[in-house]
Amino acid sequence: MRHKHLSFSLRFTFSHFSLYTIILAILLTSCTHTVHQEATADTVTDDYGRRVAVPSSPTRVVSCSPSVTEIIYALGAEELLVGRTDFCTYPAEVEGIPSIGGISNLNVESILALQPDLVISGSMVGKQVTDQMDVMGTPMVCVIEKPKFEALYDNIAAIGHLVGKDHEADSLNALLRHRVSQLNTQHSTLNTCYYVVGFGPAGNFTAGGNTFINDIIRMAGGRNIAEEVSGWSYSLEALVKEDPDYILVRREDSAAFCSMKPYNTLRAVRQGHVIGIESGTLDLQVPRNIDAILYLRKRMNP
């Protein structure tokens, strides 16, 4: 049986750590279900174990996840989109799609006003919202981010099936698998890395070993200093002690991180080994993950 599967752009600064990622972290470590086709073509079981009757050929789709939105565009199914969230910002063309607002506080009325025949959500949508949608009779399928990089292919297949793009999903997955196969994963020396998710007075947060981000760092030729950590919280003392070769940080946060004490005393900061990375390429489980791998490999192995 072929698995059918997906995830958004998180933004953090030293003064504000998004609740989105904390909740996502919990879900990443606990949810491993797979969306799959049931005996009837119009019924699927989503990543929360919900059996949902869906239209075989949807014409009005609302996406409640940046990752879902990005994958829909990658599959060439953007003409089906009638709604997206404020956090769905890639590709740029998505700005022309009406927004339903935030993610953690989804407005069911705003979704229903768009008269969708299918809603696809991600990791931030809770049971209360799914229950409401069930009562209203609008099918909502939850396709969430998973702890392993390989699950990207499953999510693409799942979303492709939901929007009637099975062939396109197969082709996209074949292309992505080919790109990954071209990577030389043998490295004589692994650069130690630390990925900055959140920093400053609110605490230090990174991607632990049970995340797809950890897989991406490893595939890029790095060793995540937080690989033994389960979850996202990391101590400042451990960061200073490990003093990694490279710091990975969102481009928009790079200057603030490098100028703040005690981060500015880290060896990577002093040696100019801070790699600013485009938001979404590493935070989301999307096709651009492979672009992130190639970019990090180039920067860490000049």
Residues 80-136 have pLDDT tens digits of 999 999 999 999 999 999 999 999 888 899 999 999 999 999 988 888 888 889 899
**Domain end position, chosen among 180, 209, 233:** 180
One domain for residues 163 and 290: no
Please indicate, yes or no, whether residues 25 and 156 belong to a single structural domain of this protein.
Answer: yes
Q: Is residue 146 part of a domain?
A: yes
Q: Which residue has the higher pLDDT, 23 or 55?
A: 55
What integer pLDDT is reported at residue 189 of this predicted model?
62
Q: Which whole number is the average pLDDT over 282-297?
A: 96
**pLDDT tens, 159-196?**
999 999 999 999 999 999 999 998 865 555 689 999 99
Mean pLDDT lowest among 69-83, 177-191, 201-215:
177-191
The DSSP letter of residue 259 is H
Q: Which helix (H) or strand (E) holds 274?
A: strand 274-277
The pLDDT, as a whole number, for residue 35 is 52
Q: Domain check: are 95 and 238 in the same one?
A: no
> What is the distance between the alpha carbons of residues 122 and 281, in angstroms, rounded to a whole number?
17
User: Do 168 and 216 reside in the same domain of the chain?
Assistant: no
Q: Is 4 inside any structural domain?
A: no
Distances (CA, A) of 263 to 88, 232, 246: 31, 18, 12
Q: Is residue 212 located within the same domain as residue 123?
A: no
Buried residues in 237-256 as b, exposed as e (16+ CB within 10 A): eebeeeebbbbbbbeebbeb
CA 130-16-264 angle, to 5 degrees, is: 140
Angle between helices 66-74 and 151-162 (to 10 degrees): 70
Q: Is 7 within the bounds of a domain?
A: no
Residue 5 scores a pLDDT above 50:
no
Inside any domain, residue 286: yes
Instruction: Tell me, yes or no, whether 65 and 136 share the same domain.
Output: yes
Rg (CA), the chain: 19
State mean pLDDT over 212-231: 95
First to last CA, the chain: 43
pLDDT at 2: 40
| Rounded percentage of the chain residues whose pLDDT exceeds 90 | 76
Q: Which of these three, 126, 157, 180, is where a domain ends? A: 180
Q: Say what the pLDDT of residue 104 is.
A: 82
Residues 239 and 135 grouped into a single domain = no
pLDDT, greater one: 22 or 83: 83
Residue-wise pLDDT tens digits, 24-69? 444 444 444 445 444 345 899 999 999 999 999 999 999 999 999 9
126 with 64, same domain? yes
| 48/125 Cα distance (integer angstroms) | 11
CA 5 to each of CA 67, 205, 289: distance values in angstroms, whole numbers, following the listed order: 11, 28, 16
Residue 203 and residue 123 in one domain: no
Clarify whether residues 140 and 242 are in a common domain: no
Instruction: Say how many residues make up the chain.
Output: 302
The last residue of a domain, from among 180, 201, 229:
180
Classify residue 10: in a domain, yes or no: no
Instruction: Report if residue 85 sits inside a domain.
Output: yes
Q: How high is the pLDDT of residue 8?
A: 33
Range of the domain at 72: 19-180
Would you state the pLDDT for residue 33?
Answer: 47
List, as one string, the DSSP characters of 78-137.
Answer: GGGEEEB-TT---SGGGGGSPB---STT--HHHHHHT--SEEEE-TT--HHHHHHHHHHT
When divided into structural domains, the chain yields a total of 2
Residue 146 has pLDDT above 50, yes or no: yes
Q: Is residue 130 part of a domain?
A: yes
- Asked if residue 199 and residue 144 are part of one domain, the reply reads no
Q: Are residues 255 and 278 in the same domain?
A: yes
CATH number of the domain bearing residue 53: 3.40.50.1980
Query: Is residue 20 scored above 60 in pLDDT?
Result: no
Position 184 scores a pLDDT of 67
Structural domain includes residue 5: no
| Residue 219 banded pLDDT, cuts 50, 70, 90 | very high
Instruction: Please tell me what DSSP assigns to residue 235.
Output: -
